[in-house]
């Protein structure tokens, strides 16, 4: 069993992982939704979009590139930033399984007054 102090450190590390991973996935989602939106409006604004095709082509390609790059960093073999990489997060979970127990989860909820 992990000592209480180590458990608190692990829970703090989990919070950092969770926040950074969620933020990164939110950024991916934002770019993806923009791509989806461009696709939806293309028929209605075809004439306007065709007035500046280079601009819109580069804009769409930039969003595609951003989505693919971020997802590759997130799921690839080795991330440049460990807090933004799924493999390092799963390794962290494997090393700290006890902080994911029902009791630990209940205790964290009680600490923020969210447990009934």
Token couple for 71: 């997802």
> Which pLDDT score is estimated for 52?
94
Q: For residue 86, is it within any domain?
A: yes
> Which pLDDT score is estimated for 33?
97
Q: For residue 21, is it within any domain?
A: yes
Query: How many Å is the maximal CA-CA distance in the chain?
Result: 66
> Which pLDDT score is estimated for 50?
92
Alpha helices in the chain (DSSP H): 4-41, 46-51, 53-75, 86-95, 102-111
- pTM, two decimal places: 0.74
Write out residues in the chain with pLDDT < 50, as ranges.
1-2
> Which pLDDT score is estimated for 1?
46
Q: For residue 116, is it within any domain?
A: no
8 Å CB contact between 77 and 45: no
8 Å CB contact between 21 and 89: yes
Q: For residue 96, is it within any domain?
A: yes
Residue 36: domain span: 4-111
């Amino acid at each position: 069993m992990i000592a209480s102090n180590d458990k608190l450190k692990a829970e703090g590390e989990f919070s950092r992982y969770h926040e950074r991973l969620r933020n990164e996935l939110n950024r991916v989602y934002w770019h993806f939704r923009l791509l989806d939106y461009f696709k939806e409006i293309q028929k209605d604004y075809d004439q306007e979009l065709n007035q500046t095709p280079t601009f819109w082509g580069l804009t769409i390609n930039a969003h595609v590139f951003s989505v693919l790059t971020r997802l590759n960093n997130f799921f690839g073999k080795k991330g440049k930033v460990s807090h933004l990489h799924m493999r390092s997060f799963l390794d962290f979970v494997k090393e700290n399984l006890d902080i994911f127990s029902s009791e630990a989860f209940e205790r964290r909820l009680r600490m923020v007054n969210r447990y009934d």
